[in-house]
Structure 1
Amino acid sequence: MAAAPLYCVCRQPYDVSRFMIECDICKDWFHGSCVQVEEHQAVDIDVYHCPNCDDVLGPSLMKKRNNWHRHDYTEPNDGTKPVQAGTSVFVKELQNRAFASGEDILLRMRGEQVTQRYLERHGFHYPIAVTEMEGLGLKLPPTTFSVKDVEEYVGGDKVIDVIDVARQADSKMKLSEFIKYYTKPHRPKVLNLISLEFSDTKMSKLVEVPDVAQRMSWVENYWPDDSFFPKPFVQKYCLMGVKDSYTDFHIDFGGTSVWYHVLWGEKIFYLIKPTLDNLALYEAWSSSPNQSEVFFGDKVDKCYKCVVPQGTTLLIPTGWIHAVLTSQDCMAFGGNFLHNLNIGMQLRCYEMERRLKTPDLFKFPYFEAICWYVAKNLLETLKELREDGCPPPNYLVDGVKALIGALKTWLKREPSSEVPDNIRPNHLIKELTKEIPKYDLPICREHPTSPSTEEAIQGMLSMAGLLCSKTENVASSQEPWWPSPSQHLQLEKRDCEQHRLQGNKSLIDSQGNSSSKRPKKGMATAKQRLGKILKLSRQNRVFVQHS
């Protein structure tokens, strides 16, 4: 067997995982790391001279810049071609554009208010901005934490993907090289790092994600430890961008919701609602050959500008289309999570990715596998709710219906691509389908149970204040459009007022007796009796709460 050919000054065989560059003179190939040429620098070289040829012919010849508004800066600047996203001309024009105010769609909340219960009650359909962090559960390094500290905790040899903003193209480099670039007083180009996931590094201990993201996350709740598929790690990203970094309009993979926190610096988000019309426009724009020449914000009715300064956390819901400008050098932390509140929209985003032929690298890892795990768990949840006499919230019923449709489609398309070994797919779909109709229509019995039994239970529930509360219907629909942020605040005020009044009210006193008086015989034991009739919780999920 013939020996593999050797290349480069190091005389090593070809390695597909390492960037290499060909000498235009001797035609030999060289590792970029061996000849001090980074991948993002290679595109600027017109004629490359290796170290040997350099001694004879002089240094490599560089490309000549002819414009500042095209991804290919060698194109003639004759005014015939439009500005492309990410270029310096584009960024200047973006900063001078007029946008609708982000305050029109932002929910400004304190950290302690952003809870799973709040989102389950009111829905998670609008971006949330948090400046008072207490109660959010977010743990971060101090604001003195630098890019060099990131290198120390993560390791300089880690290979990362960086974006050459002016070309909107990505390339690989070592973290140490990026940090060296970041700390230079003069940077020849704008590089942006937005994909450094650090869950498997020492830096992970310095960051804890917001409680609401942790508690609602599908991966945290439903991904089994013994899964054949590797667990997705998408909850902890460190984003390091220099001034004028720009990420064009996108929807986060799999329709994941996102949390961002700006540790230092500033970012500007350009946000677009995920209405059916906007999603259709986005898909058409994403697949168009001149995508980079069209500012998507001009294609929709409204694009909202939201400035996120240092110390602010932003939570973006499922499906929101957004672009991001780094207005000054910035370090931010963020993460992605799938959840039960917007299952239909998550599936819609995933199917759009498939139609757009999005590379696997840019999709949620094992999205279909986690949907099977979720379906299995939600089947048990629906059964338990039914046994306990509590109707599931509308968002869950709608979500399960959407999930059933998706699972059926995937089985027809690719019968066993990401179906976990311990799941019988057809049986699971059948059981879920059987469970859902129970919640579609009001219960109508041909032979009603004895009033003395059924009405007694309802009466005791009412007396004990334990009737299963019906979830507000404000968040049940996936379609345009949900209550505005101002309506959310009105609902929250109303809920607080009702809670206050209920707290002041006697538990049972239907005849106006003060709470200090002894209740009538039989009333005091209503809750105790109900303990024998209703299961109040299963696996730490409380369905009925004491007032």
Structure 2
Amino acid sequence: MEQGGMEHTRRSKRQRVAVDYARLDTSGFADCIRVQHKKLARAVVKFTGQAQEEAFAVSTVAANELASHVHLTGFANPCVVRAADNSRSALGIRVPEEKLTVDRVAELVGRNRQVNTIDVSTQSEGPVYTMDELAAYFASPSPRKPLLNIVSLDLANTSLHDMVSVPSLVQELDLVNKAWPPSLTPTPMVQLYALLSVAGCFMDFHIDFGGSSVWYHILSGSKVFLLVPPTKANLMAFEEWSSSDKQVSVFFADRVTGCQKLELSAGDTLMLPGGWPHCVVTPEDSLVLGGNFLTGYNLSLQLDIWHMEERLKVRSKFRFPLYKQLMWHTAGFYLTQFRHNADVTADTNINEEKTLSSLSRWEKEGLVSLCSCLQAWLRQLKDGSDLPSTPENPANLVKELEDCLKKEGFSGPPVDSRTAPKFRLMLRPLSAEKPVSQWPTLAEDEDSEEEKSPEDKDDGEFDPSEDVLAEDDDMDFQIEEIKSPWSKRQRTPAAKKPEKKPIVMSLAKPAVISAASPRAHVTSKKNTKSNSSVRARLLKKCGLDPRIPLPTPKVRPKEDR
């Protein structure tokens, strides 16, 4: 419609999902959804943290006290060892004396070595580079396009592998080192990787494969983490968020409880227990050594994450290698421990409780979960492909291990004494009140993509110094308040209204009030005729909640003809 020589175009206010159409033809729709990584990265940097249980708080530990702290707590919370002159040697980490750069890494692992990358804009697989091309990419000036992240450069069978080593505590805890037969090949080698990230990289919330724990030593650069405790409610929210089509537009940290921010700089070392959802922002070019490992302390949670991956249908290339075989060897390893302790007790007449003290209560609790899982795998077994080549009969192995645990008083439903009480103390996330389809999303600017200036588009690098502390930067990332499926986006909660005296009706049932997320706004509602039992029954038959008001129909003005 033209008025006064000007043409007015109607513009939709709905959430826009950016699509990488160039990628659509080659990889399909699943990999072409663009993530608003700059807005998400700003939200991570500006995150102030939430209240959390003391048992889940990040612990700053001295290098020479890390092992005793982990054994004393059962590796229940993340541990940070800050940079110090002797921290590397005290942790058992060995690195080359010369400063490692990306170009030097390319020389040591082979310049023709092909490396898989992650496209930050889509959070999916990016192009395959050679190490020589990757070194040139890092040497190029900012902003780099496309923005690529390398999180799994395997150092096995390279010159660099012989020049570095993992922390001694990791080697002590790793079930691969403990239970995997040395003569059996291939071996699941995930202990040692190099991570290469340019400034602006963002890795959205994820849980490392198989619920494995992570060690992380920063050689150069810095990182910002958001860590989410693995409570039952938070893991349920993570699974719902991971399987939702709104994943790219929802800031997961605002949907959980107990999330905390952690900043790491060069020389710092992080030990992150398995099962913790976390995201990572790279403010500056970084080079990191790290790896994954499974432990006996976290068996129950690791198996829970494995089952979650099954439900989410995670592809095998992104799963922990040879996981089932490792669990069978783990059961055999612990059964051997029980047998050895029983033999020592019989020979020396020592109190059995003192003899079995080598196994912690967390390991025994985890073994109850492992036996339950192995029994389920035996029932599902068809061709025997997942069974390890051991002299033990699988059914007899599980039965004997269960008997040993029963003698110790560990039987019945699997439970973890460190986390079970915390489930009742933590408030439920928003997912417990609303489905993912009603979660708040990233707010889009009013202007269309064509009207934005080139520097405002969300396809370049994230500059942590760019308007990080500006008050008007909140416009870049908004969380909408949801009162009903048809409500409009609000930046601030509604003004608090004076409480009205409730009207008591003889036929009405008392209202049920549920605990909502501490970050979700609660607004008062007007009294309507929704208390009518007839109306409520009719709405329930239609699949609608009678407590939510129906939308008011809008009358469109007639257009001039």
- Does the alignment reach a TM-score above 0.5? yes
1:107 to 25, 46, 59: 59
Which structure 2 segments of 5+ residues have no match? 1-14, 24-32, 346-351, 426-561
| Alpha carbons of structure 1 residues 68 and 233: separation in structure 2 relative to 1, 3 Å | farther
Residue 93 of structure 1, CA deviation: 4.2
Residue 431 (structure 1) aligns with: 400
What's the CA shift string for 1:342-386, capped at 9, x where partnerless? 111111111111111111111110001011111001001122233
1: distance between equivalents of 2:131 and 2:304? 35
Q: Is the 1:137–1:208 Cα contact (8 Å) retained in structure 2?
A: yes
1:399 to 363, 366, 372: 366
**2:432 is the counterpart of 1:477:** no
Runs of 4+ in 1 over 4 A off after TM superposition: 101-104
| Alpha carbons of structure 1 residues 311 and 68: separation in structure 2 relative to 1, 3 Å | farther
| Alpha carbons of structure 1 residues 344 and 189: separation in structure 2 relative to 1, 3 Å | same
| Alpha carbons of structure 1 residues 74 and 218: separation in structure 2 relative to 1, 3 Å | closer
**2:168 is the counterpart of 1:211:** yes
Residue 32 (structure 1) aligns with: none
**2:238 is the counterpart of 1:285:** no
Q: Is the 1:86–1:246 Cα contact (8 Å) retained in structure 2?
A: no
1: distance between equivalents of 2:17 and 2:283? 19
Equivalent positions of 1:44-443 (< 5 A) are 70=18, 72=20, 85=35, 87-100=37-50, 105-115=57-67, 117-131=68-82, 132=84, 133=87, 134-142=89-97, 144-171=99-126, 172-186=128-142, 187-227=144-184, 229-387=185-343, 388=345, 389=352, 390-391=355-356, 392-415=359-382, 416-422=384-390, 423-440=392-409
Residue 260 of structure 1, CA deviation: 0.2
Q: Is the 1:143–1:264 Cα contact (8 Å) retained in structure 2?
A: no
Q: Is the 2:50–2:257 Cα contact (8 Å) retained in structure 1?
A: no
2: distance between equivalents of 1:86 and 1:381? 51
Name the aligned partner's letter for residue 237 of structure 2: L
Name the aligned partner's letter for residue 90 of structure 1: L
Residue 143 of structure 1, CA deviation: 7.0
Query: The residue matched to 1:302 in structure 2 has which SS?
Result: coil
What's the CA shift string for 1:212-249, capped at 9, x where partnerless? 1001111111111222x510110111001001101111
Equivalent positions of 1:467-506 (< 5 A) are 476-481=417-422
The count of residues paired between Structure 1 and Structure 2 equals 377
Residue 271 of structure 1, CA deviation: 0.3
Structure having the higher Rg? 1
| Alpha carbons of structure 1 residues 181 and 480: separation in structure 2 relative to 1, 3 Å | farther
- Name the % identity: 32
| Alpha carbons of structure 1 residues 194 and 431: separation in structure 2 relative to 1, 3 Å | same
Which structure 1 segments of 5+ residues have no match? 1-66, 76-82, 443-474, 485-547
What's the CA shift string for 1:267-318, capped at 9, x where partnerless? 0111000001111111111111221111111110232110011110000012
2: distance between equivalents of 1:71 and 1:90? 17
Name the aligned partner's letter for residue 123 of structure 2: Q
Name the aligned partner's letter for residue 393 of structure 1: S
What's the CA shift string for 1:120-175, capped at 9, x where partnerless? 33211111000241421111235721000110110122121101101212132222
Name the aligned partner's letter for residue 434 of structure 1: D
Name the aligned partner's letter for residue 236 of structure 2: A
Name the aligned partner's letter for residue 407 of structure 2: K
Q: Is the 2:205–2:252 Cα contact (8 Å) retained in structure 1?
A: yes
Residue 398 of structure 1, CA deviation: 0.7
Residue 537 (structure 1) aligns with: none
Name the aligned partner's letter for residue 188 of structure 1: K
Q: Is the 2:59–2:79 Cα contact (8 Å) retained in structure 1?
A: yes
TM-score, normalising length from structure 2?
Answer: 0.63
1: distance between equivalents of 2:364 and 2:111? 48
1: distance between equivalents of 2:342 and 2:409? 13
Shifted more, 141-150 versus 200-209: the winner is 141-150
| Alpha carbons of structure 1 residues 231 and 86: separation in structure 2 relative to 1, 3 Å | farther
2: distance between equivalents of 1:157 and 1:165? 24
2: distance between equivalents of 1:121 and 1:153? 39
Name the aligned partner's letter for residue 399 of structure 2: K
Residue 479 of structure 1, CA deviation: 2.3
Q: Is the 1:88–1:166 Cα contact (8 Å) retained in structure 2?
A: no
Shifted more, 393-402 versus 273-282: the winner is 393-402
Residue 29 (structure 2) aligns with: none
Residue 529 (structure 2) aligns with: none
1: distance between equivalents of 2:21 and 2:259? 29
CA RMSD of aligned residues (A): 2.7
Q: Is the 1:342–1:478 Cα contact (8 Å) retained in structure 2?
A: no
Q: Is the 2:51–2:257 Cα contact (8 Å) retained in structure 1?
A: no
Name the aligned partner's letter for residue 396 of structure 1: E
| Alpha carbons of structure 1 residues 441 and 269: separation in structure 2 relative to 1, 3 Å | closer
| Alpha carbons of structure 1 residues 441 and 222: separation in structure 2 relative to 1, 3 Å | closer
1: distance between equivalents of 2:39 and 2:65? 41
1: distance between equivalents of 2:320 and 2:134? 25
Name the aligned partner's letter for residue 147 of structure 1: V
2: distance between equivalents of 1:85 and 1:303? 21
Residue 480 of structure 1, CA deviation: 4.4
Name the aligned partner's letter for residue 222 of structure 1: A
| Alpha carbons of structure 1 residues 441 and 341: separation in structure 2 relative to 1, 3 Å | closer
